[in-house]
Each structure stands twice: as C-alpha cells, then as structure tokens.
Structure 1
Amino acid sequence: MRQLHVFERPTRFVAGTVGTPGERTFYLQAVQGVRIVSVALEKQQVVVLSDRLEQLLDEVVARTGDEQPAAPSDNEALQLPVDEEFRVSAMGLAWDGDSGLVIIEAQAPVESSEEAEQTLLEDVEDGPDALRVLIEPTEARAFIERARKLVSAGRPPCPLCGQPLNAEGHVCVRLNGYHRNVTLNT
C-alpha cells in the first residue's frame, strides 16, 4: 500500500543537510504543526529541483504577468527529529492554475521507470511512497534561494575538473597523473 504524505500550504518546506561538508546528507523537509516528514536525496537532485522550480515559476510569470517575490528567507536548521521516510528516486513538478499553487512531489524508488511515470503526481493506491507538497509561488522562490545557498556552502570545486575538493586535496583526473593532489589554497 502506497504511503502518500500530502502537505497543502505547509508552515515550512525546505531543503537542508545533516553532517559536515563532504559527508552531508541532503533532505527535503515538510512541516505542518507537529507533523514532520523528511526525505533524503542527493545534492544534485537539490540543484535540479531548484533549477526546474525556477523555470516553472518563470513560465508562470511569462504567461500570467503576475511576478511574485520570494517570501522571507528561512535559514533555520532542519526541524528535529530528522527521520528519513525514504530516499528520493524521482521528482515531479506541476502548476495548479486553479489554486495558484506549485506542486512538488518526491517519490521513493520503484522497480521500473515506467512505474514511476504512472504514479508521479497521481492519486493512486498502489505505487511507491511519496511526499507531495503544495506551496505558494513566494514560498517556492524562498525554497530556491535556500537550496542554492545550501549547495554552495559545501566543498569548493576543483578549478580543473569541477569535482569537490577535500581539505587534503584530491587526485584530479584532468592532470592525467602528472600531479598527484590538487589542494585548497588557504
């Protein structure tokens, strides 16, 4: 049986992390009253979600002409407890023109990509667990700002290959073994 966590206009919807740079676990967290749902995802999924969310909002503005600035920033840590409901495999975005809300859905892994397509953003009884959040465009803009700050707060990229640099450096594939380590200049 599918467990669908639905939050319509939650008091809080954010991306956040637990851990230190290089060892962080990324989460999406929705909060409404005492109800907290946290799902784990990859850093790159946070990047893609914020980029696609911005594209969706820009398209809505282009069609409606209704520009909405970001809500006030939420810079607080994830709300405790951070209990992982599932690890995100697929995500979907939609615009509900009737309510004027952005719909974001994060879904648990499934056996096949076809199965994910059939259940993503759908109200079906069988399928993978999912977190569905409906938020105002202003809240979506605030989500984007926070997500981008969160991602950029990690380890700096190697100037040659773009991979994250550890304090000890890393073996850079662009140097073809000529130099063993590329390190941070601090």
Structure 2
Amino acid sequence: MSRVIHVFRQPDRFVAGTVGEPGDRSFYLQAMESARTISVLLEKQQVSVLAERITALLGEVGKRFGSDVAAEPSAGESDSDPLAVPLEEEFRVGTMGLGWDADSSSIVVELLAVSEEEIDESVVLDDTDEGPDALRVFLSPSAARAFADRAEKVVSAGRAPCPLCAEPLDPEGHVCVRLNGYHERNPVTEAE
C-alpha cells in the first residue's frame, strides 16, 4: 500500500491538546486547513520534546537569519481553544522530524506513524512512496512559537510533580522512589 502524506502548507490551526483527566490523558496534535482536519495521537513526552526542539530551532534560525525570523506570536496566533471535534485519530506518532524550509521561511514539522519496520531516516521530510504515513505541517516562525508555547502549557497542566522525585503525584497517593518505600514512623504515636 502506498504511503499517505498529509501536507498542510498554510494551516489555519496547528495545536497540541488533550482528552481526559490528569493522569489519564491522551495527547493529540491537530492540524486544520480550510475544511480539512487531521488529528494524530502521541505521548506526553513527544509533545514536550517537540516544543523544546521547535524553540531551540527558532533560536538557531534567529541567530543565522536575523532576529525577526524568531518573532513572538501575535495575539491572533495564540490559541487556547479546545481540540476540534469529532476527534478521529489518523495514526499514532512514532518518529518525528523537524526542519527549516528557507524557500518559504517556515519551520517544517513531520510526524510519522508508528511502524513495525525500522524507519530509514531518508523518509523523514521526503516524498518517497515507501514508508509510514505522515503529517507534514509548515509553520511561520511566529506560528511555531505559538505552537511551542501552547504545547508546553498543555504538558504542564497535568498532575503536579513530587518535590523529591519529580514523578507525578496521584490523587490516591504516591510512593516516592527517593524514599525507597520507607515512611518514617513517629515514636511517640507508637508508644501509645
């Protein structure tokens, strides 16, 4: 079967979002252009890494091509709306690619579907017929910055981290690995 590459050259919207309660959330990236919407499922860590890498790439592009390239998002580009529904997952993300397209002065984000076969790096950001399905989105620098800002907020909106081990604290309780399962006993209450 031939590979499907969903390309969004001028997306109206490209956002990270979640469905579910903290501790049981599913993370999605959603691209919209005109009447077309594509949603892909991925892990929280993937969203975090993508936001970090986009921010780093914008910094590098700013150094090489000028500070106006890495501009802050305008008020119209900040997006705090929920994901569009119905939410239909196109695929689960396995490999992610990121690049700079000098011709269009755009950040290019490519998300490839999970594949049982090993992915050859040459299929990332390439139009070859062989390989996993992909979502390829072109973002202006300010839209990329807006995406990264929102993605960081979405990731950090989950459960609070434990001050000792940084693992998420559950409402039911938390066994901290830094305490090695040991809870100090109060000798006064034991004597009673």
The answer (yes or no) to whether the contact 1:110–1:116 under 8 Å persists in 2 is: no
1:51 aligns with 2:56: no
State the partner residue of 2:189: none
The 3-state SS of whatever aligns with 2:14 is strand
Rounded Cα–Cα distance in structure 1 between residues aligned with 2:61 and 2:35: 32
Listed as ranges, the matches of 1:3-82 within 5 Å are: 3-67=4-68, 68-72=71-75, 73-82=78-87
- The alpha-carbon deviation at position 91 of structure 1 amounts to 0.3
Is 1:88 aligned with 2:93?
Answer: yes
Deviation at 1:118, TM superposition (A): 2.5
Which of 119, 123, 141 is equivalent to 1:137?
Answer: 141
- Aligned-pair distance for 1:81? 1.4
State the Cα distance separating 1:66 from its structure 2 match.
Answer: 3.1
1:124 aligns with 128
How many residues were matched structurally?
Answer: 179
Read off the aligned partner of 1:35 and give its amino acid letter.
Answer: R
Q: Which residue of 2 aligns with 1:2?
A: 3
CA distance in 1, matches of 2:143, 2:21: 27
Q: CA deviation at 1:110?
A: 2.2
Q: CA deviation at 1:54?
A: 0.5
Tell me how far 1:179 sits from its aligned partner: 2.5
User: For the residues of structure 1 that align with 2:102 and 2:33, how far apart are their CA atoms?
Assistant: 23
Give distance in 2, aligned partners of 1:70 and 1:116. Answer: 34
Aligned residue identity for 1:138:
S
**Deviation digits for residues 32-75 of structure 1 (CA, Å, limit 9, x no counterpart):** 12211000011110110000000100011001113311133100
Deviations along 1:131-175, whole A, 9 cap, x unmatched?
000011110010011011111110001111111111112111111
SS at match of 1:81: coil
Are 2:172 and 1:168 aligned? yes
Residue 86 of structure 1 aligns to which amino acid in structure 2? F
Amino acid at match of 2:81: E
Choose 1 or 2 for highest CA Rg.
2
**Relative to structure 1, is the Cα distance of residues 110 and 116 closer, same or farther in structure 2, using a 3 angstrom cutoff?**
farther
Q: Compute the displacement of 1:116 (Å).
A: 4.0
Given residue 14 of structure 1, which amino acid in structure 2 is its aligned partner? V
**CA offset digits 1:101-150 (Å, max 9, x no partner):** 1100000112344x241311110112101100001111001001101111
Q: Match for 2:101: what amino acid? A: D
**Which of structure 1's runs of 4+ aligned residues deviate more than 4 A?**
none
Q: Distance in 2 between matches of 1:24 and 1:86?
A: 17
> What 5-or-longer segments of structure 1 have no aligned partner?
181-186
Offset from partner CA, 1:6-39 (integer Å, 9 cap, x none): 1011000000011111111000100012211000
- The answer to whether the Cα contact below 8 Å between 1:90 and 1:116 also exists between their aligned partners in 2 is no
SS at match of 1:88: strand
Scaled by the length of structure 2, what TM-score is found? 0.89
| Separation in 2, partners of 1:129, 1:163 | 33
